[in-house]
Chains A and B, each alone.
Chain A
Amino acid sequence: MKKIISFVLLVIIFIGIYFAVSQIPYGKDKMSVSKHYLNNGVKENGASNIVTSVVLNYRGFDTLGELTILFIGAIGLGVVLFGFETKGKDIKSPSLILNAGSTFLFPFILLFGIYIFIHGHLSPGGGFQGGAVIASGFLISYLGYPKKRISEKGIHIVESLGGTLFILIGLLGLLLGGYFLSNILPKGTVNTLVSGGIIPLLYVLIGIKVGAELAGIIYKLME
């Protein structure tokens, strides 16, 4: 009985949404803000990837808000599970293939993650994707050796350092450039590794911070 009433109510809601959404044109031309970003993006920033320059230069303040929300989520998880002993089912000791495989793969996965966030302004990639790959490297190293772990204090220190340096670079931009997160380093030539002002530097800091944060969340849920 409850299922039928919920289903009918949801169908009515979605018919209403269809009437509101059917006015949006699909596959037509872009708005004027996007045209301005695409035509002048390379001249004003120096980065070839337009999505990167939108995330870090034109809408840089939203990225600061998103880093704050991720930080609050990780702290909240630590508060909720503080001092909570639980008797989960025992994880079996891993087989030989998993042991040897995780030892062999862990440095290569870290290297791949670092490559992704260093080349964020030249090809698809960036800080968030590279940080997630680094966190999966920590996950596979845990599955191979459930008893030994990288020290948790080190992970917390690295994560806080990344966030603090991001804000300090922004304040330096306020001092020297006139507004928060302004581009103070020289722009360089397009399509080389050292180009785009402070954009590669900010992505390196974001990559380290997000990687350490997600690894900390996984370690907290594992104990």
Chain B
Amino acid sequence: MIFITLLIIIMLIGAIVSCILKDLLSAVIVGGAVSLIAAILFYYLQAPDVAMAEASIGAALTTAIFVFAINKTKRLEENEENN
């Protein structure tokens, strides 16, 4: 139970970090890590089919198509002026 609590806290911290980073490639890779921790949580909730689907589709293929899209556009987020 302590282990699951620790995993959920790390997942939320990872989502907040992905919101703050300015480099889009790093933000996408942290998003893939959040998907991987969600797949581990699915296994602990006794759902092996869903864990396999989330690990293969959510963590691997989604990150791959994001990287291809960033290759064709910009890599760094633009700086914002005053709000």
Tell me whether A and B are bound partners.
Answer: yes
Interface residues of A (CB under 8 A from B): 1-3, 49, 51, 86, 88-89, 116, 124-126, 128-129, 132-133, 135-136, 139, 214, 217-218, 221-222
The answer to whether B72 touches A88 (Cβ under 8 A) is: yes
The answer to whether B60 touches A129 (Cβ under 8 A) is: no
Question: With A88-B71, A221-B69, A222-B68 in contact, do A132 and B49 touch (Cβ < 8 Å)?
Answer: no
Interface residues of B (CB under 8 A from A): 48-49, 52-53, 56-57, 60-61, 64-65, 68-69, 71-72, 83
Question: With A1-B83, A88-B71, A129-B56 in contact, do A135 and B49 touch (Cβ < 8 Å)?
Answer: no
Out of A2, A88, A132, A221, which one reaches B56, CB within 8 Å? Answer: A132
Out of B52, B64, B69, B71, which one reaches A125, CB within 8 Å? Answer: B52
Question: With A132-B60, A136-B61, A218-B64 in contact, do A125 and B49 touch (Cβ < 8 Å)?
Answer: yes
B65: A residues at CB distance < 8 A:
217-218, 221
Q: Which residue of the partner chain A has the closest CB to B75?
A: A89
Give the interface SS of chain B, mostly helix, strand, loop or mixed: helix
The answer to whether A136 touches B56 (Cβ under 8 A) is: yes
A221: B residues at CB distance < 8 A:
65, 68-69
Least Cβ distance of A5 to chain B in Å? Answer: 11
Q: Which residue of the partner chain B has the closest CB to A84?
A: B72
Q: Which residue of the partner chain B has the closest CB to A89?
A: B71
Question: With A88-B71, A218-B64, A218-B65 in contact, do A132 and B57 touch (Cβ < 8 Å)?
Answer: yes
**How far does the alpha carbon of A128 sit from the alpha carbon of B53 in the complex, in Å?**
7
Out of A86, A128, A136, A217, which one reaches B60, CB within 8 Å? Answer: A136
B56: A residues at CB distance < 8 A:
129, 132-133, 136
Least Cβ distance of A118 to chain B in Å? Answer: 15
**How far does the alpha carbon of A132 sit from the alpha carbon of B50 in the complex, in Å?**
13
The answer to whether B49 touches A51 (Cβ under 8 A) is: yes
The answer to whether B49 touches A124 (Cβ under 8 A) is: yes
**How far does the alpha carbon of A181 sit from the alpha carbon of B60 in the complex, in Å?**
33
The answer to whether A135 touches B53 (Cβ under 8 A) is: no
Can you report 24 residue pairs joining A to B where beta carbons are below 8 Å apart?
A49-B49, A51-B49, A88-B72, A89-B71, A116-B52, A124-B48, A124-B49, A125-B49, A125-B52, A126-B49, A128-B57, A129-B49, A129-B52, A129-B57, A132-B53, A132-B57, A135-B61, A139-B64, A214-B61, A217-B65, A218-B65, A218-B68, A221-B65, A222-B68
